[in-house]
Amino acid sequence: MKKRILGKFTRRVCYNKGFKRCWAEGNILDQMGIKVNMRFNKIVSQGKVSIVFTESGRQKINGTTDRPILDLNGKFLNVLGDATFYEMTFYNTIESNFVDLLEITPTENVA
């Protein structure tokens, strides 16, 4: 499957109630065309977390129309290891301008 990068952002790993937290909101999601109530499935694999946007997704983007929020928190984020930063890479995998895949990977490189 061919993937085209639409955007890439680096953020610091945060913690909530002892678990790693990865999140993005507002301008980052707006730039990528991600809106409140968009549905997605989360796939955890070795060294990364993939967010696949699909109408039948089990989870959804929270927030408001003006400020969508993607907030991931939990033990599953341990796949990021001891990294201080994570990179969010937004892709589309079909011939459109819409994001349908987000990959979250550990990084120590701060852009």
Query: What is the residue-wise DSSP string for the chain?
Result: ---EEEEEEEEE-EEETTEEEEEEETHHHHHTT--TT-EEEEEEETTEEEEEE-TT-SEE-EE-SSSEEEEEESGGGGGGTT-SEEEEEEEE-SSSSS--EEEEEEE----
Q: What are phi and psi of 80, to 5 degrees?
A: -80, -5
Per residue in 58-103, pLDDT tens?
A: 999 999 999 999 999 999 999 999 999 999 999 997 766 688 999 9
**Reported confidence tier of residue 3, pLDDT bands at 50, 70, 90:** confident
Percent of the chain with pLDDT strictly greater than 70: 94
Per residue in 10-57, pLDDT tens?
A: 999 999 998 999 999 999 999 999 999 999 999 999 899 999 999 999
